[in-house]
Amino acid sequence: MKRSAGVTSCIIAVLIVLVAGGTLVAKWSLLQPIHTELVNRYNNDSPLYYESNSICKKIQMQRFNILTFPVACFIILIFILITKRTSLLRKQCPRGIAPPMPVDFLSRIDRKFAAVIFAMCADELFTIVKSIFESASSNSNDSGVIISYLERIFQVLIIGFRYYPLLAAVYLDSIVSLVCGTLYSWLDYSITIVNQGLCNTDFYVTLDQYIRAGNESSLAARFDYYGTGSTLLAIQLCTDIPRYLCLAYVSIKLPFLLIDKIRQRLKRSSMSDKERMMMKLTREERILLRISDPGSPDMLYVRNLFRQTDQRPRSHHLIARLLPKFIYEWRDDFTFSTRILCIYSSIILLLFFITVQACVIILPKLNSFQKSLQSTIDLFSTSSEDGNDDQPVDPATTQFPVPSLQRVYILAVVTTVLLITIQLLTLLANIRRNLFQAFRGDDSEIPRRQRSRYISYSAGNIHFGGYCIGYLIWGFILLAFFAIILWTCVEAFINFSSVRLIETLLKSIIPSLLFIYFKQYLNKLLARYVFLQHGGQVLAINNRRILMIFIYFSLFLDAFLGFISSITRLLLSVFYGIIYMCRLDYSPLGRKLELMDGGFSAYCGYIHTECCHRHPVMLIFASHLFTQFKMNQYKQIEHLGQLSDPDRLMYAQRQKKSLRAIRKWNLGVFLIRNPMIAFFRKAYLKQLDVDDLHALTDLDGDANNRNQRLAIYHRRGSVAGLSVIEETNAELHKQQRF
């Protein structure tokens, strides 16, 4: 089975490379005439734009593909008709129809396929970000603020409806859904090639874009920088490689899933009764049964609970042996949910697109910007010195000579990408560590769960994925801006050896900082060898008289140093806030105010929601119960198959009576062995008022509700006949309850 799966994966990989390569060749054939036309216009000093094909007006609106929108709506309607409602409003809805679920973010169903789809969405997200910056930089905005926001909402809805059928087709996992998904993926793939090859290119300007930009085009600067050869065309095709790899994967994976589903349907006649019974289960039920397998991550986690850290078996994955532990420790007893993979796939591809676009578009403009920046700095420095703006400025005597910005910009982008990559890897490791802490009830990093914040946790869990992407974009911008400033100063020192503006700032800052650090070092030195006993190993005062004298004189000096330290504190908070901007697990507001941070609040909501619904011990327990139930059901079906019809009817009637008696007997024995469970039965809970009910069932407020809960136990203990209440203390009640 594993060998056939490996062969299938190899075939899929080869087909993906072939299809993606053919797509790149097709796009090259579409872009080559456009590139040639624009080069001719550039050589003739004509306006640099090209007229879009007539099909572009039918395909897109506001640079978004809407031709597949009605097709997607029709396929979603088909999926609604074939989806059966299981719980909510089951009787009120006709035929029990329901909208299909695109992705189950809490499970591990089709994680790779969903991650690839969300990676494809990164292209659309970058288009939205780019359009926002273009609209902000443009002077004309005839639509107004409200209309602009409505257009953004409509664009997001179009993106959602575009990829909804692909995700829902795989999640439903039926022949009808996979056929619809396969045809739709091929249609979307072909339209995407035409749209991005003729209508919506990254580096070539259309007539509509030229008009919206005020009859201006930045394409001339790109031709000056990259030349009129095929360099710009090659950059465009290299940028499209990850995009078309994802599209090719979806277009090939869906037909393979369809073929596998048809093969399973044809083999149904030769299946055993047990295999047929497994085929009747839903995907969620099959996943729940697999959780109790010996090699499942949840089962490995439960087994590792009874082992020491050094006794846990090492991972058998190849990547675990290749990846150093100080970078990331791969563990077989934990897997990230579908949501994390989808978020990170979108983030990685979005970071790639932002980096490429930032380099390709901005680098040609840096020469002219450098001259303007130098003129502005010289103008201000001259005005501040003698108040004469008309006096010519000597570049050798300028306050801040601007170095070459191209090398500075490249270094800044590389630094930004490296810092964000490190922060994303750290966030990934912290998510796993915080989930492990939540599983064992450790609230050292994530605040303890509280009943009053359940709604906030749910709302934060909804915001988590979008906040990760939004914080990443803003963090990239801030990091790039400050990295440019830092590398500009470094480059200026290297090239010109002396920069008067920076030297003046350093002369005013360094003495104060040196004095602060000297005072801190002096305090530590005296504390170790003079004011504490045993060289600082014990927190016990020594030389009390000298300590009080030193504190007295330090009070007046530290008031001045505290003023300087407060400025340092503000600067450090801004500095680390920018570095950690793309990480939701870090709050710059501090422990007391961290829940006021929207990003950290969303992160806490995600951790608590994951802990409640993906706790390994809970999943193993539920899987064990469900497995036993299905095994008994299978044995009963197998036994009934060996009986005749009259005997089968008599057996069913007798089994019904015996099962009722067995359930009552098991309930009585269970309550005798676990007397505290009697307080949580429905008949008992109905006798309580609202306050007592909250105190009794509040899982996250034991410290506040313990006394009230004990009063309920003692008050109702005589009625329930539980003498154990009078013999135990509060801590024992808490242990028995769980």
In DSSP terms, 50 is beta-bridged to: 206
Residue 390 has pLDDT above 50, yes or no: no
pLDDT digits over 95-109, tens only? Answer: 557 788 888 888 888
Question: Residue 18: its pLDDT value, please?
Answer: 93
* Residue in 340, 289, 421 with CA at minimum distance from that of residue 114: 340
> How far is CA 362 from each of CA 39, 182, 356, 435, 475, rounded to the nearest angstrom?
20, 40, 10, 41, 19
How far are the Cα atoms of 134, 138, 316, 616 from residue 295, in angstroms, in the given order?
Answer: 52, 58, 11, 13
Calpha distance 206→200 (Å, rounded)? 8
Question: Once rounded to an integer, what is the mean pLDDT over residues 237-261?
Answer: 91
pLDDT digits (tens, 9 = 90+) for 546-577: 888 888 888 888 887 888 888 888 888 888 88
Mean pLDDT of 709-738: 48
Strand partners, 541: 532
pLDDT digits (tens, 9 = 90+) for 277-310: 777 777 788 888 888 888 888 888 888 888 887 7
pLDDT value of position 393: 43
Contact 377, 400 (CB under 8 A): yes
Q: Is the pLDDT of residue 327 over 70?
A: yes
Report which of 123, 72, 112, 99 is spatially closest to residue 257, judged by C-alpha positions.
112
CB 461 within 8 A of CB 340: no
DSSP string over 356-375: HHHHHHHGGGHHHHHHHHHH
CB 73 within 8 A of CB 66: no
Q: Residue 728: what pLDDT?
A: 42
pLDDT at 36 over 90: no
Q: How confident is the model at residue 391 (pLDDT cuts 50, 70, 90)?
A: very low
* Residue 77 Cα to chain centre, angstroms: 29
What distance in Å separates the CA atoms of residue 488 and residue 408, rounded to the nearest whole number?
A: 6
pLDDT (average), residues 487-515: 76
**pLDDT tens for residues 666-686?**
888 888 887 777 766 777 667
Model confidence over 613-635: pLDDT tens digits? Answer: 889 999 999 888 888 888 877 77
Average pLDDT over residues 271-276: 68
Asked if pLDDT for residue 420 goes beyond 90, the answer is yes
- Show the CA angle centred on residue 325, arms to residues 322 and 331, nearest 5°: 85
Compute the radius of gyration of the chain from its Cα atoms: 33
- pLDDT given at position 392: 46
Task: Return d(Cα 85, Cα 355) in angstroms, integer.
Answer: 45
Decide if 115 contacts 337 (C-beta within 8 A). Answer: no
Which of the residue ranges 45-49, 349-353, 375-379, 691-695 would you say has the lowest mean pLDDT?
691-695
Tokens 């039965």, residue? 681
Cβ pair 722, 675 in contact under 8 A: yes
When pLDDT is cut at 50, 70 and 90, the band that residue 60 belongs to is low
User: If you search the block for the tokens 């750290």, which residue do you land on?
Assistant: 426
List for the chain the helix, strand, coil content (%; round to 5).
Answer: 75, 0, 25
Q: Any alpha helices (H) in 497-614, and if so which ranges?
A: 500-526, 544-579, 598-613
Long-range contacts of 482-485 (CB under 8 A, 24+ apart): 482/578, 483/411, 483/412, 483/413, 483/415, 483/416, 484/408, 484/409, 484/412
- Asked if 256 contacts 8 with a C-beta cutoff of 8 angstroms, the reply is yes
- Say if CB 239 and CB 356 are below 8 A apart: yes
pLDDT at 727: 40
Phi/psi at 206 (5° precision): -85, 175
- Cβ-in-10-Å burial (0-12, 13-18, 19+) of 378 comes to buried
Please say whether the beta carbons of 409 and 366 come within 8 A. Answer: yes
Of 450, 502, 472, give the one whose Cα is nearest residue 578: 472
Residue type, 513: L
- How much is the pLDDT for 90? 54
Contact of 136 with 152, CB cutoff 8 Å: no
Residue type, 355: T
Write down the pLDDT at residue 395.
46
CB distance 129 to 473 below 8 Å: yes
Tokens 């994802």 map to which residue? 246
Contacts of 407 (CB under 8 A, 6+ apart): 491
Q: Give 723's pLDDT tier (boundaries 50, 70, 90).
A: very low
Q: Which residue has the higher pLDDT, 409 or 729?
A: 409
Tokens of 51: 């007229």
Strand-pair category, 60-61 with 64-65:
antiparallel
Per-residue pLDDT, 724? 40
389 confidence band (pLDDT: 50, 70, 90): very low
DSSP category for residue 52? P
- The token pair that represents 241 in the structure block: 């490689």
Residues 406, 560 contacting (CB under 8 angstroms): no
- Whether residue 721 is predicted with pLDDT greater than 50 in this model: the reply is no
Average pLDDT, the chain: 79
Q: Which residues contact 495 (CB under 8 A, 6 or more apart)?
A: 401, 403, 404
CA distance 522 to 518: 6
CB-CB neighbours of 34 under 10 Å = 19
Which one of 81-90, 336-345, 487-496 scores highest in mean pLDDT?
336-345
Residue type for position 535: G
From CA 298, how far away is CA 289, in angstroms rounded?
Answer: 12
pLDDT by residue (tens digit) across 174-216?
A: 889 999 999 999 998 988 888 888 877 888 888 777 777 666 7
Q: How many helices (H) and strands (E) does the chain have?
A: 27, 2
Would you call 662 helix, strand, or coil by DSSP? helix
Reported confidence tier of residue 722, pLDDT bands at 50, 70, 90? very low
User: In this predicted structure, what is the pLDDT of residue 182?
Assistant: 93
CA angle in degrees (0–180, nearest 5) for 121-468-430:
125
Question: Span 324-352, mean pLDDT?
Answer: 86
CA gap 142, 215 in Å, rounded = 17
> Alpha helix (H) ranges present in 44-144?
56-59, 68-82, 111-137
Query: φ, ψ for residue 84 (rounded to 5)?
Result: -100, 135
